[in-house]
A and B are shown apart, each in its own frame.
Chain A
Amino acid sequence: MNRKLITVVIIMAVIPIGLLSWMGFASIRSEEERVRQQIQFLGNGKLELVRDNISGIFKVVESEIASTFKSAGFETENIRAIQRKSNLVKQIFILGRDGFIYPSSDTPLSDKEKDFLNRIKEADISYNFLSRPSDENVGRLQERGWHTWLMGEGINFIYWQKAETLSGETVILGAELNRAAALSRIINSLPDTNPENDSFRISLFGVTGSILYQWGGYAPPEEISADAVLPLAPPLTSWHLSYSIDPAAAHSGGNRLFLAGSLLTILVVIVSLSIYLYKESTREMREARLKVSFVNQVSHELKTPLTNIRMYAELLEGRIRGDDKKSESYLNIVISESRRLSRMINNVLSFAKDQKDKISFNPAPAVPDDVVKRTLDNFSYSLAKKGIEVVTELNAGKPVMLDADILEQILSNLISNAEKYAAAGKWIKVESLFMRGTTTLIVSDRGPGIPRSSIEKIFEPFFRVSNKLTDGVSGTGIGLSLVRKLAEIHGGRAELLYDDASMEGAVFRVTLKTPLEEI
């Protein structure tokens, strides 16, 4: 009963909780996925804006350099004067088909110009190389463009365009950018961090993967990858942008919190409901158990005096037999009641033992019918007094291996039940049969019977077919469960036979494994 109840309660609680959790989890997951996609979309959008912004800066740089070329012209001193003033251009150069026209080592050069010529050697640039057809425009020579190469601490930039000198020669005018100045232009075109309300971080990474600039008040943990990543447009394709948003801000709390909250509420309700139900349904059992446990303790103390009472009453019975009818009748009551009491005590003790798996099984040669008769004998007085007729049909008269105490206890309980609950039928029948090593006992009555729904439950400890039937009848609620237990110990079983045809009365059948006595 107990285990079943627990199972039911657990199922009742676990299934809805599991289902709810799964649904909640799935919904959060899909919500998160949706939010993640949204963030990525949003992040990409933001990064595209930044990328376009940076491209715009480079367009401005291009036109600035173009106008620098225009004002610088081809005259060396003029070029120098212009480049001394430019905060963007590090070095201007003129490249003819045969090499550098300016700066040229044929004329006196400043240290900077010499440095440039040394530096540019590594870049390996020439007229033909720069104006080679681009990847997009196959077969067409380029007129202007960017050239980048890696040296020192990052990318070096050259912007160049073709021009015609006064003498009609086509040359390349180029400008090497001051890298720091170019980066500074980019940085200044990008926002700063507003410490009060920024919950994102956008970072600009250089070619070596180190951060060149970043803004936004959110500091993403290093191990978490960015929500969106975007490379820059040419000539800055080796740089990239990343976007991260503070998860706390992204999931806006609301949805998630609401979901978690309602789930938690439902969980709490279900769990407390289950606990309440379980407690309610086991309360009676717990109370009865307490009763038994108390009685069990007391019974040990009662057993000895009771045995003495019974012994002396029975001795006295022999003495006064026949002399005094009235005294004899009183004495019978004493004996019968003390027997009932000792049965009850035995039941309680056995039950307590069963709880600890300590019931002993001691088969010994005995005749089942003798035990049946002796037991009925014990009840003869009280049954007669209630006007209950006892019918017997005994067919187990051979000595078999039997634990007489167990059989007696089983029978006593069944008869006692009939006496208690089926006294109105005024009839009890006890049948016995021995067949192929099995002794079968059937106890029938003509009482109100047992409702079909309770057939199995009556064997559960402390279960009682409540209301009408047991009203006014006291009992511990352990009798039938003990019967079944004892039968099982004896290698058999106890059951309630149910016959749809006869709606009244109860028929209990007990089978015990009783091999023939071995001679």
Chain B
Amino acid sequence: MKPTVISVIFFIFFSAVISAATVDLNVSVSNPFILADKQQSVFLKVGLTGKNLGGERRTPANVAIVLDRSGSMDGEKIIRAKEAASIAVGMLDERDIVSIITYSDTVSVLVPATRVSDRTYIQRRIESVYADGSTALFAGVCKGADEVSKFLNRNSVNRVILLSDGLANIGPESPRALGSLGESLKKTGISVTTIGLGLGYNEDLMVQLAQRSDGNHAFVENYNDLTRIFRYEFQDILSVAAQNVEIEITCPEGVVPVRILGREAEIIGNKVYTTINQLYSNQEKYLLVELNIAPRRAGSSLNIADVSINYADMKSRKSSHMTGRTEVSFTGSEERVQKSVDKETVIDAVKQISAQTSEKAIELRDEGKVEEAQRLLKKNTEYLYKEAEALQSKELFSLGDTINSDTEAITDDADWNASRKKMKASTYEIQNQQSYGE
């Protein structure tokens, strides 16, 4: 009993201290009690939640809206895209900086980075956009990021919002190249949110770009939803509480980080590093690490991870530092182990594992192994239902339903293009803990 009490006290103590800041840090483990004398693995979750800055205060935005105006955007699409961009600009004010970039064969900086004091002018410029030509996506993102860089500021949300409906065909065009660009931009402090419109874009490329730059991704099949997605995105942007979050996890001897679920991270020996560009108000972003723990005798307990966080606090406009830790206790009682399970952490782990499985299924399907892919998804569904049952989680049930419908969709050749985009987007939503989607 004693270790539990200590850990609870520990937890309360840390929570209290940490909550004074703009960010809530929550370090938890899937199994606070594990069986003694046995090599086992647990999931460590480092959760971060931004808090409301309070009152009218919000983080200023420094946003580049990059619009695909290639020939395929002609008609309804470009009209809706312009409308959505216009509405988004309408959500900004003098505190914010915006730029409008369009691309087709070449890139044009329609509105260079400028303070949003004359919305009408910017909206008129957006109105002048017409569709025609190819898709110089890479260069469009570069120029967008360049505009953002002009006013790059640790205390504002630096973001590129890319809207595209087609395959990049001028300049680098591979998911890997765009991913590398995303990685470089993330290090600069710029995230790229990618919005795929219709069924013609390359979802791998768009997801890679968003993922590596820590931005959002959405698949918009119905053009009428575009405005809604833009609204979500801008709500997100305007609710940023902390930025440039650096997470460093150090494990003691006998505890080995094996793999990361979801987010990109680096494991070196007993250390794990990752960064999160933005934390939004009332929205948790987390990192899940699978740890291998060496056997110990019953009754002992072990601090399994020291977590160190550095971030830019949007409220105090200063760099802040935070630490957290969590421990496991070893017991001989199976029942004890079962009862102590941290449901929230396990649910998150199950979601991440399921997302990873879905990705694997997409890969198999891409290789033409349709049946194998379907089998995998069936297994995934069963896994989700089983865990949902065990954890009594509605969320997992509904996720199981989604994957179940994916099991059907993966064999349907006619709708596979749309289904793939949908699956990619929802997988990414889970991995990125994104607040919005279809």
Contact = CB atoms under 8 A, between A and B. Distances in A.
Interface of A: 80, 84-88, 90, 107-113, 152-153, 178-181, 183-184, 187-188, 192-195, 201, 211-217, 219
B292 interface: no
B178 A180 contact: yes
Given A153-B174, A188-B143, A211-B170, A180 B181 contact: yes
B139 A178 contact: no
30 contacts: A84-B187, A87-B187, A88-B184, A107-B269, A108-B270, A110-B267, A110-B268, A113-B268, A153-B172, A153-B176, A180-B138, A180-B172, A181-B180, A183-B142, A183-B172, A184-B145, A184-B184, A188-B142, A192-B101, A192-B106, A192-B108, A193-B107, A193-B108, A211-B171, A214-B106, A214-B136, A214-B139, A214-B170, A217-B106, A219-B133
B109 A192 contact: yes
B176 A152 contact: yes
Contacts of B180: 90, 178-181
B204 interface: no
Main secondary structure of the interface of A (DSSP, over half): mixed
B372 interface: no
Nearest to A183: B172
Interface string B125-141: 00000000100101100
Contact of A86 (B108, B143, B171, B187): B187
Given A184-B145, A214-B106, A214-B136, 19 more contacts: A80-B268, A85-B187, A86-B187, A88-B184, A108-B269, A110-B267, A113-B268, A152-B176, A153-B174, A153-B176, A178-B180, A180-B178, A188-B143, A192-B101, A192-B109, A212-B171, A212-B172, A213-B171, A215-B107
Contacts of B109: 192
A187 B267 contact: no
Interface in B252-287: 266-270, 273, 275
Contacts of A80: 268
Nearest to A81: B273
Contacts of B187: 84-87
A226 B22 CA distance: 57
B177 interface: yes
Contact of A180 (B105, B106, B133, B177): B177
Contacts of B133: 219
Contacts of A195: 108
Given A184-B142, A187-B142, A216 B184 contact: no
A110 B177 CA distance: 21
A-B pairs, 7 with minimum CB distance? A108-B269, A181-B184, A180-B180, A87-B187, A180-B181, A193-B106, A188-B146
Contacts of A108: 268-270
Contacts of A211: 170-171
Pick from A109, A180, A195 the residue with the most CB of B within 10 Å.
Answer: A180
A306 to B, nearest CB: 86
Nearest to B274: A84
A88 B186 CA distance: 11
Given A110-B266, A153-B174, A212-B172, A87 B107 contact: no
Given A86-B187, A192-B106, A187 B143 contact: yes
Contacts of B172: 153, 180, 183, 212
Contacts of B183: 178, 180
Contacts of A216: 106
Nearest to B189: A87
A195 B269 CA distance: 53
A193 B172 CA distance: 18
Contacts of A179: 177, 180
A101 B266 CA distance: 20
Contacts of B184: 87-88, 178, 180-181, 184
A113 B269 CA distance: 12
Contacts of B269: 107-108
Contacts of A85: 187
A109 B266 CA distance: 9
B240 interface: no
A113 B267 CA distance: 10
A12 B8 CA distance: 114
A108 B108 CA distance: 46
A181 B183 CA distance: 9
Nearest to A90: B180
B323 interface: no
A289 to B, nearest CB: 65
B185 interface: yes
A90 to B, nearest CB: 8
Contact of B266 (A111, A152, A187): A111
Interface in B157-202: 170-172, 174, 176-178, 180-181, 183-185, 187-188
Nearest to A201: B106
B144 to A, nearest CB: 10
Contacts of B268: 80, 108-110, 113
A217 B174 CA distance: 25
A466 B177 CA distance: 94
Pick from A183, A184, A212 the residue with the most CB of B within 10 Å.
Answer: A184
B191 to A, nearest CB: 13
Contact of A187 (B139, B178, B185, B275): B139
A84 B273 contact: yes
Contact of A215 (B106, B146, B174): B106
A308 to B, nearest CB: 90
A193 B132 CA distance: 14
A219 B108 contact: no
Contact of A153 (B177, B185, B270): B177
A108 B270 CA distance: 9
A116 B350 CA distance: 32
A87 B174 contact: no
Nearest to A198: B106
Interface string B97-108: 000010001111
A112 B267 CA distance: 9
A63 B237 CA distance: 35
A353 B256 CA distance: 122
Pick from A187, A211, A214 the residue with the most CB of B within 10 Å.
Answer: A187
Contact of B108 (A107, A153, A183, A194): A194
Contacts of B266: 84, 110-112
B108 A181 contact: no
A88 B185 CA distance: 9
A180 B176 CA distance: 9
Contacts of B108: 192-195
